[in-house]
Amino acid sequence: MTAQLKLVNMAYRRLVKPALANGGLPFPIREWIDRSSRYFHTPDGFYAEETEFVHAGAGVPGLWTGIAVPQAGGPDGAPPTPDSNGAVLYLHGGGFVAGSPQSSASLAAVLAAKLSLRASVPEYRLAPEHRFPAACDDVLTTYRALLDLGLEPSKIVIMGDSSGGNLVLGLLTRICTRGLPRPAACVAISPVSDLTYSGESFRLNADSDVVLSIERGDEVNDLYLGDARRDDPLASPRFASFPGCPPVLIHVGSREILLDDARTMAARLREFGTQVTVDEFEECPHAWHHMHGYLPEADTAIDRISAFCRPLLGR
């Protein structure tokens, strides 16, 4: 464990976990997450442009984000011009009740730049104003909007963290079961895959998890699901079907209460013959990738995502 990771874990335990455990839902948490995300590292050349992803008359606001390529004559080693025929579709986290494209734009941009792409980050609807399956419908609309724009499915990678990882897997089952064009790959970072909270890690890692508290689970479920079943396959993708699924990469930290969500989700995907890779990172906290530029373990994780996806994109 690096010295930086020790400091991050200490800060998360003292500041982040109490804020998420004791802050009111949903509005104070929304403000806290958006305010905190301003401290994430912003890479040189970062840009974010507001847009709307439109399909069949339905529109979802969001961002196009990435890292601008220096003009000719710029520094050596500049990133290649992003491929306009593809994109990273990034779904932000926030427990289905918080988060925004802005809170994940920096990470989405870095991940996309590693793949010579730009990133689309939809502002899907949040609970409790818009309960399940509103967010699921919005991310499906966004994916279809990218196809309508002429992007090649084989050059699209779907990614997301935490509840966004849940939405990645929910979108994936809809793509697979509806016969929609498959993306090149999917990446789920610290995903919530089982809203029944049946994994043993919810109890075994309750103390070691420096971010998430199990006490908030039922409250978040009530706000997000309302009267829907917790084991609905779209809400809890570990119960879903994935015929003809593209390769999937799952990242999770060894401290997380969501550790078993990653493991059981991988087992479910393998039942359908999916190529699945699960990377478990020792001592890393929930969705640590957001600390890129500060935390070596975050930069390493992003490099592993790039190494997984680039061959699948033909890079």
Q: Are strands 46-55 and 58-67 parallel, antiparallel or unpaired?
A: antiparallel
- Domain boundaries, given as residue ranges, for the chain: 3-67+80-312
Reported as a pLDDT band with limits 50, 70 and 90, residue 79 is: low
Residue 311, judged by CB atoms within 10 A of its CB (0-12, 13-18, 19+), counts as exposed
Is the pLDDT reported for residue 187 higher than 50? yes
Q: What is the pLDDT of residues 137-159, one digit of tens each?
A: 999 999 999 999 999 999 999 99
Query: Which pLDDT value is given to residue 38?
Result: 83
Is the pLDDT reported for residue 265 higher than 70? yes
Q: Is 286 a catalytic site residue? A: yes
Report which DSSP code applies to 302.
Answer: H
pTM score: 0.95
Q: Is 103 a catalytic site residue? A: no
Q: Is 215 a catalytic site residue? A: no
The structure tokens listed for 98 are 């918080």
Q: Out of 286, 289, 290, 292, pick the active-site residue.
A: 286
Is the pLDDT reported for residue 73 higher than 50? no
Q: Out of 120, 256, 292, 297, pick the active-site residue.
A: 256
Which of these, 113, 7, 114, lies nearest to 67 by C-alpha position? 113
**What is the average pLDDT score of the chain?**
94
Residues 100, 170, 244, 198: is their CA dihedral positive or negative?
positive
**Cα separation, 173 vs 218, whole angstroms:** 24
Q: What is the pLDDT of residues 267-314, one digit of tens each?
A: 999 999 999 999 999 999 999 999 999 999 999 999 999 999 999 999
Classified by CATH at the fold level, domain 3-67+80-312 comes out as Rossmann fold (3.40.50)
Q: Out of 37, 106, 120, 162, pick the active-site residue.
A: 162
